[in-house]
Amino acid sequence: MLNFFLPRIREVSRGWNATNWSIMTSFDWRMFANNKFDGQTLYSLARRLGSLKRVDLSNCETISTETIIDALSEVPSLTALNLAGTNIHSTAMIHALDKLQRIRRLNLSYTAINDRVVAKICNLYTTNLRELRIDSCQVSIDTPAFCKLNQLEILSLKQCRKLSPAAMDSIKLMTNLQELRLVNNYNITSHMVNDILSGMKHLKIFELGFYDLTAELCETIIARRLASFTLHQLKSVDIKFILQVLQHTKNYTHKGKQFIKPLSSCQTNLIYQNQG
């Protein structure tokens, strides 16, 4: 079957020789400029490129879930996988994860996965997962096993509107986090966020979006000296808090206007989006 598809591979690759394909370690489906990319091409490439480490199929809606799973089973060496915006579903994803034991960076944002997939991730990648993005997924993450992912450095849960208090308790134990994004998580309270940030000694990038911003949380945010801090969807904010943050901020953006303090030695970047 591989030989049957080789002409298609040569056609879409335009000028790439056999050596290029054999040493290729990263693949992005958008590299096919002529858009002749389908399930047959993906599967053929996966079989030919057994040394792949990184695959990006984000927003590729032209390939069936079954074909994606079959292709991924041919590249067990993968360490980074981006399936954001694809048609992948939970049962198929669980099957795929069983064959991908080396994953360190995983993006399943904007897919139809559920909590069964999260539980599988927790059981498989306890020690090696460094990045997890599951934005806008219908998950509550109420499994206590979520705290096993304590080696995570990047966690993005934007628009996961069903997050449970148990999920927040688990995040508190992920003290190696350097980047945390929580936007449109309606069950999150200011107190929960304050508890999480209190133990985050390595956090550099923090994105927050909800309606409740207490004085206690403001103080915690200021104390963290973050490299980047973004606020979304606040109906109101204490002007004293903004002034305090500005004392430790080099670049501050408000409604598209940027105010620069060149004398500040801190590298924090604060973005405040007031939608009230």
Consecutive sets of 10 residues in the chain, 276 residues long: mean pLDDT of each?
A: 39 45 73 68 77 88 86 88 93 91 95 95 92 95 92 94 90 92 81 84 81 69 73 54 56 45 41 46
Domain-terminating residue out of 147, 178, 200: 200
Do 174 and 113 lie in a common domain? Answer: yes
Q: How much is the pTM?
A: 0.77
Do 192 and 230 lie in a common domain? Answer: no
Do 26 and 73 lie in a common domain? Answer: yes
Q: Residue 110 and residue 105: Cα distance in Å, rounded?
A: 16
Which DSSP helix (H) or strand (E) runs through 41?
A: helix 39-48
| CATH (domain of 175) | 3.80.10.10
Kindly state the tokens that stand for 182: 């929580």
Q: Residue 55 and residue 78: Cα distance in Å, rounded?
A: 7
Range of the domain at 191: 2-200
Domain-terminating residue out of 200, 223, 248: 200
Q: Alpha carbon 264 to chain centroid distance?
A: 31
Do 90 and 227 lie in a common domain? Answer: no
The domain total for the chain is: 2
Do 136 and 255 lie in a common domain? Answer: no
Do 10 and 82 lie in a common domain? Answer: yes
Do 150 and 17 lie in a common domain? Answer: yes
Q: Residue 82 and residue 209: Cα distance in Å, rounded?
A: 24
Do 75 and 166 lie in a common domain? Answer: yes
Do 141 and 182 lie in a common domain? Answer: yes
Do 44 and 130 lie in a common domain? Answer: yes
Do 80 and 16 lie in a common domain? Answer: yes
What HEC string does 156-180 produce? ECCCCCCCCHHHHHHHHCCCCCCEE
Domain-terminating residue out of 200, 216, 240: 200
Amino acid at position 109, single letter: S
What pLDDT score does 233 carry?
52
What pLDDT score does 211 carry?
52
Do 129 and 165 lie in a common domain? Answer: yes
